[in-house]
Amino acid sequence: MYEELLIEEQGFSWSLSRESLFAFCPRAYFYHYYGSRGGFEQFSGAELLYQLKHIRSLDLWLNSICTAVLREFFYDNPENFNIRRAASRYFRDGMRSVSLREWRDDPRRLNLFEACYGEAAINELEESGAKLLGKYIDSLTESGLTDYLAGIPYLKRKIFSFPVSADIDGIRVWLSPALVWEEDGLLKFLTLSGAAPTERKMRDAGTLHKIYAFNVMRIKPEHAVTLNFDLSSGETRTVPDEEINIGEFIGRIKNSSYEMLYLLTEDSAIEGNFIKNSENCPKCRFKKYCERRFIFT
Ligand code: SF4
């Protein structure tokens, strides 16, 4: 039997990660956005999905640590802030939580994909994670990025509570740049990636930032620029304006939202309407759940 869940959509939210999960596997999308609802409560029946929803890969987690420490450095501006020490503290606390399996009592605590699916032992993850994080922090500091950011006057730094959202024709669109500031008459957005991002990923983020600048901050799109910092190589890249097509991107958001909403019935989401994309099972957070359902249903 497939699950049928009543839904209470308060307006539809769209994000690049939502679109990407839907493309990865519509069934995984169902589990993430509908099936896991209420799973933080014991005996809800959705506890496993809720746990799996919160799993992260090592690389994504390290990227989020770099984002967190860079934000503290840039916005809180504490005296003598030591990025390396702050990152190590996040890393140690996270690994400690993973080894104690704290996610069993609170699924929002860190759980790593590689550990959950037996791809690596926790001590191996600790060793490789510490090395990789060290490399990322070296990139941030040795590339000159942190010195450059430190020189931006405090009043030019745009403080938000991340993630932020913009309304696009009734669709709430979410985005989460690492930092935003004003410089030389431009609004600059910084994103971080663990490896060289694809051209498409950079273009998508750059376009979203321009839309946000215009819709929310009333800043002309041509005055908004996105810089991507590659944590692996220490290189910063930007997307030329000529490669950005805002009208086309808005059309894409509408089409993609339509495709997702089309699978809902009037007031419910039915699991069977969200087809499986079995090609992606090896890389999927939900395979533990999905395999069980495949066996028992
Ligand atoms: S395990 Fe496979 S079929 Fe199931 S949700 Fe994940 S990708 Fe989709």
pLDDT at residue 297 in the model? 45
> Which of 32, 55, 286, 293 to mutate to test ligand 1, by most ligand atoms within 8 A of the CB atom?
286
Token pair for 292: 């069980």
| Residues 6+ away with beta carbon under 8 Å from 280 | 24, 25, 28
52 lines ligand 1 (CB under 6 A): no
pLDDT at 184 over 50: yes
Distance 118 CA to ligand 1 centre (A): 18
> Which of 290, 293, 294, 297 to mutate to test ligand 1, by most ligand atoms within 8 A of the CB atom?
290
**Mean pLDDT throughout 153-168?**
89
Mean pLDDT rounded to a whole number for the chain: 91
Q: Beta-strand (E) ranges in the chain?
A: 4-6, 13-14, 164-168, 171-175, 179-183, 186-193, 224-230, 235-238, 268-270
pTM here is 0.91
pLDDT at 2 over 70: no
Helices and strands in the chain, H and E counts: 11, 9
* CB of 98 closer than 8 Å to CB of 112: yes
**Mean pLDDT throughout 73-101?**
92
Q: Whose CA is nearest to atom 1 of ligand 1?
A: 287
Confidence of residue 95 (pLDDT cuts 50, 70, 90): very high
Q: Is the peptide bond before 163 cis (omega within 30 degrees of 0)?
A: yes
**Mean pLDDT throughout 255-284?**
92
Q: What is the C-alpha to C-alpha distance for residues 143 and 148, in angstroms, rounded to an integer? A: 9
